[in-house]
Structure 1
Amino acid sequence: MDLSSRQEGPRPFRSRRDRPCDACRGRKIACRIETSPPCAFCESRGSNCTFQNGPNNKRRRVFSHSMPHHHYLPQPDGLTAIPQTWEDFAAEAFDSTIFDSLDLAEDASPTAFQNQRSPPQPPTSDGRHASTSPRHFPPQSLRPSSGDARHHDSSTLHRSQVPPDTGHLNRHVVMELMKGRDQLEISRTRLRRTRDHSDDPFAGGEGSQILMVREDPPFLLHGKSCMERASWSDIEGLLLSKQRDELLRLYFRFVQPLFPILQHGDGASGDGTQGDPPQDTASLALCASVYATALPFAIHNDYLSATLTDASGKREQLYSIAIAALLENANAPSIETLQACLLLLQKGPTIQHQGLTPTYSWLASIAATTAKSLGLQYDCSGWNIPTAEKQLRTRLWWATFTMDMWVSVDSPGGPSIRSDDYDVPLPKAGDGMPGDYEAVVTGSGHEFDRLVLLTHLLAQIHETYYTIHAAKQTSSDLFKSLEFARPLRSALGDCRQSLKAALPLNAGDEPGMSASVHLAACVVSIVLFRALLRPVQCRGPGSPVESYKSAAAAVVTGSVNCARETVELLENMVSVIGPWNAFWHSWSQGNFAIVSTFLVQLLLVTEVGDGTRTEVSELISRWKRAIRVMAGSGGWGSSLMCMALARLDSLLNQAGL
């Protein structure tokens, strides 16, 4: 139809070509008449068009300004008025005025901050305003004004991450430093506060979150090679046969005692014999991961020190081969796939000052899914399988559980495994077989067994204080937080005492092998005390009662004692060369940074002139002195301490301390 020839006001009678027939009018569909009746719809039904009925009375849409999310739409007169097919819908202009009372999403363009609501547009030739036409509707008129605190740049908002409350970017420390402003930048990491509609600083409390924007480096420096198909010839082109044998020996010397996910006869053993090249991609991914994990220890082997060149570049290429083989084999989960994924999680951060990226959470999710697909979450002690397989399945489950939990401590995403997802008993110290809690605490065992118990306690603390539901219950209730903490503190105290007795830091042929486990024990205590400090920091206005004051003082005292033990641990590590030659888990770098942030938090909690604040300041000086010594020594110490030192200096500078 020629709509341009129509005029405003009631339409006069015209030819049948320009008015809908009764059938099309009743169904509210387009009446298409090319030259003369019948129309396309009536012709398809084999009937003639009739033009007896006049136009129906139009109903206006009614919108309630007081209820912007509910609209009253016109209802059809009868079932016959509902279009039966897609072709039956009329080609009417889109009425964009229905969005006038809605808050829409932000524009991706940064210029949206500067645009105001557009003035009314003049009517077009068809009588409608230009603002109601899809072709002329200005996107800026739907955007909030530049003064709207809820408005963000979508291009930034869509890639913002929420750091976990357990991580080194402590939300309560950041919120304290952001008083009076909405943004903060710490070591090339931009932080932005999400503000509640109310300006009450106590009403926002636990509901306000911190958005983190940073340029996450790639997991691999040469990530594009992961898209190529991996083969055993790629590894043979990087490493000679004897070099591969020596790397296996180094792996079983340094890595296996702390992370026992392999066993002899897997195709990668520590006896120095190299079997036939693996024929499947799962074993290829595992071998490449083993060699890459062992490469940093090449300096401890005379042959590798003399023959191995460009160790860092070859390590990246081996990781690329492992990831390519892992993704190629993702449709067929296997034990080898899980082992390769766990070793990929042990790759240290690409950039030292940023820590673990979301890629690690993604790999941890793959590992957890693979383990559950293989049924490792079930207790296999009564299964009719070889004893060695039972031990391997148990160790692999706890290794997956450990990596999933610790990666989630300091990287966005949260853990993938919950306490009700498995029934595997805790491992018994020494033999990898399931045992009871008392056996783990009182018996002498390996570093891995102690780490599993610590991780189990960390998971309990996370479920008690750091889930969304638990945080709402405990973040503002000090007495409830203390009540929940009693059994956790008791179990944690027993575990730490047993760890000190069974695995002294300077004991064994290679002192310091258990340093990462001792640090993990300190961080578990810090995570618990950070949960107890939340209600102390988030208390509302007004004078607290005497019982609250004494409870808060006890929490601060316990937190300072925990910090003192951690500082003393690092000072002991500095005096013992062994820890920096040992294997450190990939998340250990974040653990040192968590300690730095915890010390700053204690400094902000205590009052100026208080004796406790003076002690905390002294602990910060001692901690900074120790990490500077190790950061300047190079090697493992430098990579582990770099982020802890950067975070400590940045936070103290932002706080003006």
Structure 2
Amino acid sequence: MDLLSASGSYAVYGHSPADTVDPRPDQPTLGPRAYKSRQNRPCDFCRARKAACKIAVAPPCALCHSYGRECTFVSGPQKRKRNASQAVSGDGQEPQRRRTDHADSELRLNGAGRLSTSSSPPSNSSPPASRSPVEDVLLDDDIGELNTSSRQVPGAEEAALLQNTDQPQAGRSDLRGHNVNNSVPRVGEFSLAELSTKNAALVGETGEADPYLCRRYRYENDECVLSNIVYRRIPLPPPPSLTDDAELGFAERPVIFMLPDDNLANTGEPRSDNSVLEAAQTELKTMVPTDVGVRLLKLFFRFVYPYFPVLSRTQMLAHDISTVLLDLPLSLQAGIYATSLPFLLYDDILATTIIHSPPPAARLYRICWLAIVQETHTPKLATLQACLLLLQRAPSNKYIMDTPFQWSLTAWTVSLAYLIGLGKSSVGWLGLPKWERRLRGRLWWATYVLDKWSFFGAGTPSHIRNDDFDVELPILAPNAPSTVEGSPCPSTAPVDDNAHDLLAVPSHFYHLVQLTTILSDTFDTYYSIRATSLTTNNFSLSVELAKPLRVRLKTWKDSFTASNSSAENSSPHLDTAIFSTIAPDTLDGNASLVLAYIVTVMALYRALLRAVDNLDSSLETSAYLHAAARSAVLKGAKECGKEAVEFVEDLSRGDVGVWDAFWHSCGFYTVWIQC
């Protein structure tokens, strides 16, 4: 019988306390149950569970091995209790005692992962043959819907067993998967980002576990344990009763995370010695004391967050910042410090203390990378955040493009994002804090942006396909404050992280994501290997495919210009509208977004010019139409080049408010490639 079909009606039948299993391997037999010798007594855990104690050669048994428990033989057999209906007969002889499945109270697991006792009504059905090892693991009551009703067990033997079970082995997690010294709070919500001793990986459909099989496990508090690994089920909202998707047979894939303990990856290679990491941690504390780190974090939220919101203001600024910094992993600490260094001048204290001898940014990035390599064995959200900040570093050489390490790190970051489940929309996940759901969405789109722009600049395909994620596009933050303390620029106003809408992001990041989707579609339309073969020599097809892309670019330009131009000084030109609204003492990073728009338009015209160059002049069909379209393409390409030159000239005349603002690293690459 299939295990999945049997799981719904499988019942756990108890065995006699003295029954044991012969240590020989199980052989499929027919007929009555094989004789089991009473000389080999079961271990304490199997006796309490009323499960077969299967010892192949030497302890531990199969059940204790699957739970990571010590196989002990301390407690003796439990005394049988008489049922109330079993009265003494008239001749003074006691009737034969019934051997039922629930003659004794079964020891079960309560919500905290400890053994408790519960009573079950007797059953007159005969017990089946002993379960296979696979059934013991998959269909075990401790993994399933646990009986939470408990009562006091009389007797010293049961009390001793309970006391022994409450104390897990040193260095291990208990049956609920929580370390005794660092348990996860279970009050209302559960955070995947704040697991200090575990890492969360989304269970995919082709990996070692299957989400459709995992959903058939029996969960308590949305968790179950299998082979010392906790599986966390994410509750989803109930689907609508009648929808088009339901009629077509579509259903939401089960969202289940595997939460292995970090200690299981201690032997993962390659890795650095602990002494090297400890030395790097000490060096970081020496270069950036806690008080300096607090100010650097504030500078990050003031000048970087509005353009690249990869941190959570709710979690980091709502608590004591010095404590928050100490709790951050080494990689993220170094990444935040290095990213915030260019803005030292805008802090009154740092501008007078360390401005002349700041911490070396190159060394901070090296520490960040050293820690990332170690943390990727047990990746968390903080590891991905550190990778994103490392990708945003300024190029080490001002005159040439960076090394291929940049693109390798981008691919690394994309794989981490998929591993921790960022490609799956978390808007409807129940039990996950709102701040974490907002952060997961922003981190995915930050990864998407860097992936598309980095590989576009490298001339290679992207690692993210539209079919591999379902994260909703972000929306503009409603009622965002117009100014931030110490920063008069409206565009640097951070979004309210307590906003009700889980998709709201700052204005700059919203327009960047929208523009990146257009760039991605442009690449897929013209620059993939198959698209190149179709459009290079087909001018008519190239022009036809460009029409919806040009409409989207015009819509984006109008939206961005309207959101950044004042009512008194509006300009039809994108670059003029940006530079005219920047005050001399203001940092505004929207200039990098203007550059990104120009590069996207140039990418479209490059594809059209490629088709014009390969156009066969001997073709007489629609010669007039081809001539008109060719003239329009050449004119549009000329205007695009003129706009790029004017933008560069405006940059050369720009104030420090443009140059000192936050620039996305991909902007540097594209300006060297395209201009």
Task: Give the TM-score of the pair, scaled to structure 1.
Answer: 0.52
Structure 2 counterpart of 1:242? 291
Q: Distance in 1 between matches of 2:596 and 2:312?
A: 25
Q: Deviations over 1:378-419 (max 9, x none)?
A: 122211122211211110100000011111121254311111
Paired residues of 1:228 and 1:324 also in contact (CA < 8 A): no
Structure 2 counterpart of 1:386? 433
Greater relative contact order, per chain length (Cα 8 Å cut-off, separation 6+): 1
Q: What are the within-5 Å matches in structure 2 for residues 629-640 of structure 1?
A: none
Percent identity, please.
32
CA spacing shift, 1:406–1:483, aligned 2, 3 Å = same
Paired residues of 2:331 and 2:386 also in contact (CA < 8 A): yes
Structure 2 counterpart of 1:341? 387
| Equivalent position to 1:319, from 365, 368, 377 | 365
Q: Deviations over 1:408-440 (max 9, x none)?
A: 121254311111111111101116899xxxxx9
Q: What are the within-5 Å matches in structure 2 for residues 517-528 of structure 1?
A: 517-528=593-604
SS of 1:416's equivalent in the other structure is coil
CA spacing shift, 1:589–1:260, aligned 2, 3 Å = same
SS of 1:275's equivalent in the other structure is helix
In the alignment, structure 1 residue 295 sits paired with structure 2 residue 334: no
Q: Structure 1: which 5+ runs fail to align?
A: 1-223, 435-439, 597-657
| Equivalent position to 2:671, from 583, 587, 592 | 592
SS of 1:302's equivalent in the other structure is coil
Q: Deviations over 1:33-68 (max 9, x none)?
A: xxxxxxxxxxxxxxxxxxxxxxxxxxxxxxxxxxxx
Structure 1 counterpart of 2:323? 275
SS of 2:522's equivalent in the other structure is helix
Structure 1 counterpart of 2:490? none
Q: Structure 2: which 5+ runs fail to align?
A: 1-271, 479-494, 498-502, 566-577
CA spacing shift, 1:349–1:513, aligned 2, 3 Å = closer
Q: Deviations over 1:552-575 (max 9, x none)?
A: 111111111222223333334444
In the alignment, structure 1 residue 537 sits paired with structure 2 residue 586: no
Q: What are the within-5 Å matches in structure 2 for residues 63-82 of structure 1?
A: none
- Which amino acid letter does the alignment assign opposite residue 547 of structure 1? L
Q: Distance in 2 between matches of 1:276 and 1:391?
A: 19
More off after superposition, 369-378 vs 270-279: 270-279
| Larger helix fraction of residues | 1
How far the C-alpha of 1:311 sits from its partner, in A, is 5.7
How far the C-alpha of 1:482 sits from its partner, in A, is 0.8
How far the C-alpha of 1:266 sits from its partner, in A, is 4.9
Paired residues of 1:289 and 1:318 also in contact (CA < 8 A): yes
Q: What are the within-5 Å matches in structure 2 for residues 224-623 of structure 1?
A: 228-229=276-277, 231-264=280-313, 266=315, 269=317, 273-275=321-323, 278=326, 283-308=329-354, 314-384=360-430, 385-411=432-458, 413-430=460-477, 446-504=507-565, 505=578, 506-507=580-581, 510=586, 512-540=588-616, 542=618, 545-577=623-655, 578-596=657-675
How far the C-alpha of 1:444 sits from its partner, in A, is 11
Q: Distance in 1 between matches of 2:394 and 2:461?
A: 19
Structure 1 counterpart of 2:11? none
SS of 1:559's equivalent in the other structure is helix
Paired residues of 2:474 and 2:505 also in contact (CA < 8 A): no
How far the C-alpha of 1:581 sits from its partner, in A, is 1.6
Total equivalences in the alignment? 364
How far the C-alpha of 1:271 sits from its partner, in A, is 8.1
Q: Distance in 1 between matches of 2:273 and 2:365?
A: 10
Q: Distance in 2 between matches of 1:450 and 1:420?
A: 22
- Which amino acid letter does the alignment assign opposite residue 392 of structure 1? L
Q: What are the within-5 Å matches in structure 2 for residues 49-198 of structure 1?
A: none
Q: Distance in 2 between matches of 1:311 and 1:343?
A: 23
Paired residues of 2:539 and 2:615 also in contact (CA < 8 A): no
Instruction: State the Cα RMSD in Å.
Output: 3.0
Structure 2 counterpart of 1:68? none
Paired residues of 2:526 and 2:535 also in contact (CA < 8 A): yes
Structure 2 counterpart of 1:31? none
Paired residues of 1:295 and 1:315 also in contact (CA < 8 A): yes
Q: Distance in 2 between matches of 1:227 and 1:480?
A: 61
How far the C-alpha of 1:317 sits from its partner, in A, is 1.0
Q: What are the within-5 Å matches in structure 2 for residues 618-657 of structure 1?
A: none
- Which amino acid letter does the alignment assign opposite residue 559 of structure 1? A
Q: Distance in 2 between matches of 1:226 and 1:312?
A: 27
SS of 2:422's equivalent in the other structure is coil
Paired residues of 1:429 and 1:446 also in contact (CA < 8 A): yes
Task: Give the TM-score of the pair, scaled to structure 2.
Answer: 0.50
SS of 1:400's equivalent in the other structure is helix
Q: Distance in 2 between matches of 1:532 and 1:526?
A: 10
- Which amino acid letter does the alignment assign opposite residue 300 of structure 2? Y
Paired residues of 2:391 and 2:409 also in contact (CA < 8 A): yes
How far the C-alpha of 1:251 sits from its partner, in A, is 1.0
- Which amino acid letter does the alignment assign opposite residue 581 of structure 2? A
How far the C-alpha of 1:305 sits from its partner, in A, is 3.0
Structure 1 counterpart of 2:75? none
Q: Deviations over 1:150-202 (max 9, x none)?
A: xxxxxxxxxxxxxxxxxxxxxxxxxxxxxxxxxxxxxxxxxxxxxxxxxxxxx
Q: Distance in 2 between matches of 1:572 and 1:393?
A: 37
Paired residues of 1:427 and 1:433 also in contact (CA < 8 A): no
Paired residues of 1:226 and 1:320 also in contact (CA < 8 A): no
Q: Distance in 2 between matches of 1:357 and 1:412?
A: 14
Q: Distance in 2 between matches of 1:469 and 1:415?
A: 14
CA spacing shift, 1:310–1:542, aligned 2, 3 Å = farther
Q: Deviations over 1:302-353 (max 9, x none)?
A: 3223322676762111111111110001111211000000000001111111
Q: Distance in 2 between matches of 1:338 and 1:444?
A: 19
- Which amino acid letter does the alignment assign opposite residue 592 of structure 1? V
SS of 1:260's equivalent in the other structure is coil
How far the C-alpha of 1:512 sits from its partner, in A, is 3.3
Q: Distance in 2 between matches of 1:469 and 1:275?
A: 53
How far the C-alpha of 1:278 sits from its partner, in A, is 3.9
Paired residues of 1:262 and 1:339 also in contact (CA < 8 A): yes
Q: Distance in 2 between matches of 1:261 and 1:552?
A: 44
How far the C-alpha of 1:295 sits from its partner, in A, is 0.7
